[in-house]
Amino acid sequence: MYINGQFTSGNASEEISIVDPATEEILDAAPRGAAKDVSAAVDAARAAFVDWKRVPANERAAALHEAAAKIRAHHEELARLLTREEGKPLPENDEEMRWVEDTFDYYAELARHERGRVIPPGEPGQFNFVLKEPYGVVGCIVPWNYPLLLLAWKMAPALAAGNTVVIKPSELTPLSALRLVEAACDHLPPGVVNVVTGYGPEVGEPLVTHPHVPVIAFTGSLAVGKHIARLAAPMMKRLHLELGGKDAMVIAPDAELDMAVSGLAYAALINTGQVCTSTERVYVHESIFPRLSEELADFVGKLRLGNGLDEGVDIGPMIRDEFRIKVEEQLAEAVSQGAEILVGGQRPAQIPRGFFLTPAVVTGVDHRMRLMREETFGPVIPLMPYKDFDEAIALANDCQYGLGATLMSRDARLVKRFFEEVKAGTIWINDPLTDNFAGPFGGMKMSGLGRELGQEGLDEYYEVKHVHWDIEGGVKEYWYPY
């Protein structure tokens, strides 16, 4: 673990073995942290906050730029470690690392842009202004599917705003977070950045319930997000919860089929479908449904599975066998209810080890099936026809989640209806799963609270203070006695 500027085993008496999902070999081990380790990290972060919050914005910006430069210097090493630890093919982790590096640079600049605003006073002789101030210690609870990207989206704005952080990486992928901190944060004052490794009940819950951690930033499942909300509610903590989705894609009758097929395959299968914004429900106009289904099955069937470090691999393994089993159960249940698997959905016989599952294209689905209601988080593309655009929008909105949604169409009238009527935090038109540093990312409905990226992502780590200053002073006529 990394506490107060030093690597330590802390109070851990056991270790967590970290497994390569492509080979099932043990890569390394991390300490199994405990509540005492969380307390030590929070104490260090609280002590460091006293000075860090007073560091001028230009100096904090320089510190974040230096972190970005150090991460770039270790780009290839970290990308390969990500692939070994969580399985994405190397090109996808190369992209993740570029996003990590640029996130630190982006927030380095954004945080010195402004610290509040001046507002018009109510009376002459008064001065009114709004200050944005850091909260203190931010607890960053990070998932396994994008261990460094989703860490950067929390850590960079939190530090830029003047907070300190205690990071709890996933117990499945702690190595990349530890290596990033080791490589990129040694110039920061001790205690500004801390990492405690371990399981949710033993490390995550003590972090959430610690009285001196006013902000919790979490990405993960809806069930865990609700649990965090219950734990944090009595202490009125600021919660930033990104809780996944069941994203819809609507393919209009005017869509270019080549673009729709390849774009859909990418949106559904990047990181083996283990993305909160993966396309998990697809609605295709009935006039093009047979042709698109056939072309998509042919395209997906040609994608190459294998170890993400090998050249030419398109699809890596799933993170663990229990996640693969969940996907297989959803597929089997859907088939029992009338669905048909056009291609995939099997463990590849030619790859004897690793948690691989061939990507599946499924038809004959409907909203009775778990496959169309619950988050799948795996390499499955279920296709469902629709008759008209009213039905398509109704189907897209028929879900408890509202993280993202995609439309494939060149018709401006359909596009306008789609982004106005579909309830989701991000709407993509013809270019799914593309982010923008300046554009906020987050969900509606059960997909969570708060936003990452953009000015909104920085404001998550500020609390707001209004200052009313009567410069003239004097007794006011509206004071007592009446």
Buried b (16+ CB within 10 A) or exposed e, 73-91: ebeeebbbbbbbbbbbbbe
Tens of pLDDT, residues 127-152: 999 999 999 999 999 999 999 999 99
pLDDT at 16 over 90: yes
Tell whether the model's pLDDT for residue 398 goes beyond 90.
yes
Q: What is the mean pLDDT of residues 280-309?
A: 98
Let me know if 117 is exposed, middle or buried by CB neighbors in 10 A (0-12, 13-18, 19+). exposed
Identity at 196, one-letter amino acid code? V
Tokens of 161: 């705003």
pLDDT over 90 at 158, yes or no:
yes
Q: Does pTM top 0.85 for this prediction?
A: yes
What's the average model confidence in pLDDT over 180-184? 98
477 catalytic residue (yes or no): no
C-alpha 67/C-alpha 55 separation (Å) is 16
The answer on pLDDT for 215 being more than 90 is: yes
Is 242 annotated in the active site? yes
Contacts of 323 (CB under 8 A, 6+ apart): 274, 355, 377, 378
The token pair that represents 69 in the structure block: 């430069």
Exposure of 59 in the CB half-sphere (CA atoms within 13 A): 10
**Rounded average pLDDT over 113-129:** 95
Instruction: Give domain 247-429's CATH architecture.
Output: 3-Layer(aba) Sandwich (3.40)
Q: Read off the pLDDT of each residue in 416-432 and give the average, rounded to a whole number.
A: 98
- Which tokens hold the place of 414? 């359909």
Map out the domains of the chain as residue ranges: 2-243+447-467, 247-429
* pLDDT value at 12 more than 90: no
Instruction: Domain 2-243+447-467: give its CATH code.
Output: 3.40.605.10
Determine phi and psi for 184, rounding to 5 degrees: -120, -10
Alpha-carbon distance of 228 to 375, in angstroms, equals 19
Report the C-alpha gap between 107 and 110 in whole angstroms: 5
Is the predicted pLDDT of residue 87 greater than 90, yes or no? yes
Least confident of 10-19, 160-169, 183-192, 208-217: 10-19
User: Tell me: the pLDDT tens digits for 350-375?
Assistant: 999 999 999 999 999 999 999 999 99
Catalytic residue from among 86, 101, 242, 280: 242
* Buried/exposed code over 273-290 (b: 16+ C-beta within 10 A; e: otherwise): bbbbbbbbbbbbbeebbe
Residues in the chain: 482
The angle at the Cα of 110, spanning 426 to 133, to the nearest 5 degrees, equals 100
Among the listed residues 185, 276, 280, 399, the single catalytic one is: 276
